[in-house]
């Protein structure tokens, strides 16, 4: 049991150390943090909407790519939350509309029966003038 525990600890140590970037020399994460981009109008809107800046005028002409990506991710989360809320409200609306229709006596089965009766009546009306 102790041997198994020591193997697990050793593998966790190796995995943890192999997954972290080395501190010597410039790494790709450091160079990407320095990369500066000119944000578009839509990206400026997202930066203001996610409250990274108070207004579009405060946004500098060049912004880091990490800041843009973080604000885009936050905007995606906000939009997803709004869409989930709208879906839940639409579901509740459909439930209440269905219950109100059931109280009025409307059902899909009854609508189907009524449509078939009307279809048969129309067919009989079309057949009567041709047979005379």
Task: Determine, yes or no, domain membership for 4.
Answer: no
Residue-number span of the structural domain to which 64 is assigned: 36-103
> What was the pLDDT predicted at 1?
66
Is the residue at 81 inside a domain?
yes
The first and second tokens of residue 73, run together, are: 């991710």
Could you tell me if residue 80 is inside a domain?
yes
Output phi, psi for 61, to 5 deg. -70, -25
The model's pTM is: 0.56
Q: 67 is written with which tokens?
A: 């800041």
Are 42 and 71 within 8 A, CB to CB?
no
For residue range 27-70, what is the model confidence (pLDDT) as tens digits? 444 544 567 889 999 999 999 999 999 999 999 999 999 999 99
Give yes or no for a contact between 77 and 51, defined as CB atoms under 8 angstroms apart: no
Structure tokens at 26: 């410039």
On whether residue 54 sits in a domain, the answer given is yes
Count of structural domains, the chain: 1
Q: Three-state SS string across 24-47, please?
A: CCCCHHHHHHHCEECCCHHHHHHH
Q: Is residue 74 part of a domain?
A: yes
> Is the predicted pLDDT of residue 130 greater than 90, yes or no?
no
* 2 part of a folded domain: no
């Amino acid at each position: 049991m102790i041997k198994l525990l020591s193997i697990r600890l050793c593998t966790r140590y190796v995995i943890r150390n192999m997954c972290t970037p080395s501190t010597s020399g410039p790494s790709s994460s450091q160079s990407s943090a320095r990369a500066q981009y000119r944000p578009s109008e839509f990206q400026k809107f997202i930066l203001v909407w996610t409250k990274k800046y108070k207004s579009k005028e405060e946004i500098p002409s060049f912004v880091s790519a990490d800041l843009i990506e973080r604000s885009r991710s936050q905007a995606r989360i906000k939009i997803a939350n709004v869409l989930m809320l709208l879906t839940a409200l639409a579901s509740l609306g459909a439930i209440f509309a269905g219950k109100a229709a059931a109280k009025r006596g409307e059902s899909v089965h009854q609508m189907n029966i009524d449509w078939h009766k009307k279809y048969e009546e129309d067919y009989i009306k079309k057949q009567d003038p041709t047979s005379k």
